[in-house]
Structure 1
Amino acid sequence: MNEATEEFSLPRSRQANERLHALIPGGAHTYAKGDDQYPENLAPVISHGRGAHVWDVDGNRYIEYGSGLRSVSLGHAHPRVLEAVRREIDRGGNFVRPSIVEVEAAERFLATVPTAEMVKFAKNGSDVTTAAVRLARAVTGRPRVAVCGDHPFFSVDDWFIGTTPMSAGIPAATTELTVTFPYGDLAATEELLTRYRDEVACLILEPAGHSEPPPGYLAGLRELADRHGCVLVFDEMITGLRWSEAGAQGLYGVVPDLSTFGKALGNGFAVSALAGRRELMEWGGLRHSGERVFLLSTTHGAETHALAAASAVQTTYVEEGVTARLHALGERLAAGVREAASAMGVGDHLVVRGRASNLVFATLDENGQPSQEYRTLFLRRLLAGGVLAPSFVVSSALDDGDIDRTVDVVAQACAVYRKALDAADPAPWLAGRPVKPVFRRLV
């Protein structure tokens, strides 16, 4: 059990973070994992994980949420996935020609996501979202990309990052070709498509986020795309598998032209997928008579162990009802956190949002405004209680005991939250600088 926050420290993690910053820009290979996202000097460096728990280099054990930035949805070191991976590693991982594993993985994927007709695998989400954009531009002959401005991230590539506060190094001419539309507002989207008539190659969005799509919204977007001749792209990095085995498109019954998957698909192994209609996808193939599109060509996209992991993940989801379990665990957690927050008088300040399988939380100040200071206070107390939770995104490896323990720790954190609200000043409870947003122009 970790000690109270005032006594809780991570000396070995602190040393490891210094080593990380000396060698790796940002101290992590993903900005969302940076130590600036955690309270000062309380950013644990992980030693290992198993199931729903991880251990840091200081020897502390945590109940972990948001595992691998939502990628490890079955829990760490899942035996079924590891068995498939070990089998392929012993047979070689990458060859000069396609492996039979590639077609088997494609067949498994398309059986799980029957709304798609072809699929191509890569390593990162950015690989496949950018491929979708390139393909849409090629098919339509149009230059502009319309992205949903209410969704936080689509790609590390210029067409998207140029629209964020971290746009250094990206030419304005590139950024000017990306326009935004608001989620849930069909009229505003139609106005955008009319303003840029015959210029927009695609609409790209997460089909669902922290709230359910308004009734008829996705179907209306499908109709708008058809009427204006642009490609509809669903980014299913988060919704894929977590909403249903076939993603949000499988749950809501609206079929995009193209969709992208990743994160949960590999349970931590590097694999992503671009899927969609054969008519479009074949532009990146060899069985057509038109101009060739350099769709995706990645040396490591077909590594056999990662594709075997993806197949094992999908089989596990389907056979073991993992999506339903994620929802049940999330519902139990959300109810417990809300009850604890309400009991401590902070129910209007610690707000749990999102679909049960993809919960996040907001920390609001005494005026009801989002607060990084109160987030810092809350995270400090969670860490001291043995809960690592930048979000409340569950994995299926959690059990009821983990949920109950998390709720107990949340209740303790909420008691401190109430004290800070009464003082109208969280500073005495921060013990350092507040956590920072990922996307900001200056360090």
Structure 2
Amino acid sequence: MSNARDDGSARPSFTRSNELQSRLNRLVPGGAHTYARGPDQYPDFMAPVLVRGSGARVWDADGNNFIEYGMGLRSVTLGHGYRPVVNAVCAAIADGTNFSRPTDLELQAAEDFLELVPAADMVKFAKNGSDVTTAAVRLARAVTGREMVAICNQPFFSVDDWFIGTTAMNSGVPTDIGAKSAGFAFNDLASLAALFDRNDGQIACVILEAATATAEPEPSFLQGVRALCDRHGALLIFDEMITGFRWSAGGAQSLYSVEPDLSCWGKAMGNGFPISALAGKREYMDLGGLNTDRERVFLLSTTHGPERGGLAAFRAVVHAYATEDPISHMVRSGQRLAEGVNRAAAELGIADYVQVMGRPSCLVFVTRDPERQPSQEFRTLFLQELLSGGVLGQSFVTSAAHTPTDITDTLEATRGALQIYSRAIEAGSVAGFLRGRPVAPALRRYAAPRRIGVAD
């Protein structure tokens, strides 16, 4: 297959990135520190190793310049290197980052957070989402004296056993732990009610995202979940990792007017800096503190949870959301992008095969094969051609840093990718178009079909 694109321009070279990725494969399990960032999630030998970013643009080790979507697994909403956040972090850490006692930043950040999330009385900061979701589950079990967890059928909640034990990648998780988690369907209140009935008096908590990129809660669904939890004495936990600061600065709970007992936050609250939070009602959170006569819960105790850089980043993010309205910017960019890509697909006659969908601030794309079935092969072809056109992203999740020019350039690159996609649909296969193996699900039982040796 030629190294030239249909328009005659050269495809980008990934020589240096491939060399670095090969070294990463030898030293880091999976070749990355997050499975979603792994080389198996990108076309073969087209996984750029990045060296810097600015706004919505990133540069790799070969000097290629890409418009990035997904933005740090949805953790960056204000743009890479957003100056007010960077400046706030630099000022904070210049006076030290971590001490043997709390700092004033811990109080100020807690006050900022609780002003945004009035349903919560107390908050505790940590560094990643899994820490706080697991702490929420542990707390709910302590509050109720029960062990079962009702988990919504959504992609991801934690790296810890109570959740990973329910996935295909459950090797190493004791079977009795996985047996204490049970699933129910989003927007299907009857499935949750049936779960409560089958496990009467055993469910400690219900955990879910109140909304996802592709699924809004149906009228009364969240209210119904709240009522079922109250009726059966279970705690309601909202995972606000993605919805927080992307749906609303106050999260999905403020948008849909349903109060959880506990909520878990992370990602965009630091614009890419590491910070997460567990928030909740005082009567529950106090069990992890000093104001209780009950047995105490080992809630969260992290060396780096209160380090000053993350807290300063969070406070700067809060200020940006109060003064700049980044969500409206993300929505406008997302609307224009979705309309443009879907229009181009329709003009090429492949609207049934490629579709951009979801909330404008959290867009995903769907790729289908000639039988109109979801396809990893055709997804990989689409990713391959987007990369060749200067667009990096496993989704079309925007940030407030995406400019009109970025969207225009993306639409141009996407049209070129869709033209190749259209030819593959007409041919009935990606054969002759896809330059390597297709991507594979990040959470899968075996490395095959994208096993990567240390020499790759």
Same fold flag (TM > 0.5): yes
Match of 2:205 in 1: 202
Question: Structure 1: how far apart are the matches of 2:210 and 2:174?
Answer: 29
Stretch deviating more after TM superposition (322-331 or 158-167):
322-331
Q: Percent identity?
A: 55
Match of 2:255 in 1: 251
Alpha-carbon displacement from aligned partner over 1:166-209 (angstroms, at most 9, x marks no partner): 00001101100000010001111101101101100000001101
Q: Does 1:358 align with 2:359?
A: no
Alpha-carbon displacement from aligned partner over 1:260-279 (angstroms, at most 9, x marks no partner): 01000111110000011111
Shift of 1:8: 3.4
Question: Structure 1: how far apart are the matches of 2:336 and 2:158?
Answer: 33
Question: Structure 2: how far apart are the matches of 1:57 and 1:257?
Answer: 46
TM-score (norm 2): 0.95
Match of 2:176 in 1: 173
Structure 1 runs (4+) deviating above 2 angstroms are 2-9
Structure 1 residues without counterparts, runs of 5 or longer: none
Question: What is the CA RMSD across the aligned residues, in angstroms?
Answer: 1.1
Q: Does 1:4 align with 2:5?
A: yes
Q: Does 1:295 align with 2:293?
A: no
Would you say the 8 A contact 2:165–2:178 is kept in 1?
yes
1:50 to 47, 54, 57: 54
2:147 to 136, 140, 143: 143
Question: Structure 1: how far apart are the matches of 2:288 and 2:357?
Answer: 39
Alpha-carbon displacement from aligned partner over 1:74-118 (angstroms, at most 9, x marks no partner): 110100101110111111000000011001000011112222111
**Where in structure 2 are the equivalents of 1:18-97 lying within 5 Å?**
18-97=22-101
Stretch deviating more after TM superposition (347-356 or 374-383):
347-356
Stretch deviating more after TM superposition (345-354 or 223-232):
345-354
Stretch deviating more after TM superposition (284-293 or 108-117):
108-117
- Report the secondary structure of 2:432's partner residue: helix
Question: Structure 1: how far apart are the matches of 2:358 and 2:142?
Answer: 35
Q: Does 1:434 align with 2:447?
A: no
Q: Does 1:127 align with 2:131?
A: yes
**Where in structure 2 are the equivalents of 1:20-419 lying within 5 Å?**
20-149=24-153, 151-209=154-212, 210-419=214-423
Would you say the 8 A contact 2:20–2:49 is kept in 1?
yes
Question: Structure 1: how far apart are the matches of 2:284 and 2:350?
Answer: 51
Question: Structure 2: how far apart are the matches of 1:255 and 1:399?
Answer: 35
Alpha carbons of structure 1 residues 117 and 3: separation in structure 2 relative to 1, 3 Å: farther
Question: Structure 1: how far apart are the matches of 2:198 and 2:95?
Answer: 55
Match of 2:453 in 1: none
Alpha-carbon displacement from aligned partner over 1:358-411 (angstroms, at most 9, x marks no partner): 011110111111101101110011001100011100011001111111111111
Would you say the 8 A contact 1:232–1:258 is kept in 2?
yes
Question: Structure 2: how far apart are the matches of 1:211 and 1:158?
Answer: 26
Structure 2 residues without counterparts, runs of 5 or longer: 448-456
Would you say the 8 A contact 1:344–1:411 is kept in 2?
no
Question: Structure 2: how far apart are the matches of 1:236 and 1:381?
Answer: 33
Shift of 1:9: 2.8
Question: Structure 1: how far apart are the matches of 2:322 and 2:373?
Answer: 41
Alpha carbons of structure 1 residues 3 and 278: separation in structure 2 relative to 1, 3 Å: farther
Would you say the 8 A contact 1:146–1:204 is kept in 2?
yes
- Report the secondary structure of 1:420's partner residue: helix
Would you say the 8 A contact 2:152–2:208 is kept in 1?
yes
Alpha-carbon displacement from aligned partner over 1:324-366 (angstroms, at most 9, x marks no partner): 2111111111111111111111111112121110011110111
Shift of 1:417: 0.7
Alpha-carbon displacement from aligned partner over 1:3-41 (angstroms, at most 9, x marks no partner): 638743300000000010111011000000000000000
The AA in structure 2 aligned to 1:361 is F
Question: Structure 2: how far apart are the matches of 1:113 and 1:322?
Answer: 18
Question: Structure 2: how far apart are the matches of 1:307 and 1:354?
Answer: 31
Match of 2:451 in 1: none
The AA in structure 1 aligned to 2:164 is I
Would you say the 8 A contact 1:205–1:235 is kept in 2?
yes
Q: Does 1:421 align with 2:425?
A: yes
Question: Structure 1: how far apart are the matches of 2:134 and 2:358?
Answer: 26
Would you say the 8 A contact 2:12–2:64 is kept in 1?
no
The AA in structure 1 aligned to 2:291 is R
The AA in structure 1 aligned to 2:365 is F
- Report the secondary structure of 2:422's partner residue: helix
- Report the secondary structure of 2:297's partner residue: coil
Alpha-carbon displacement from aligned partner over 1:110-150 (angstroms, at most 9, x marks no partner): 1122221110000000000000000000000001011001x
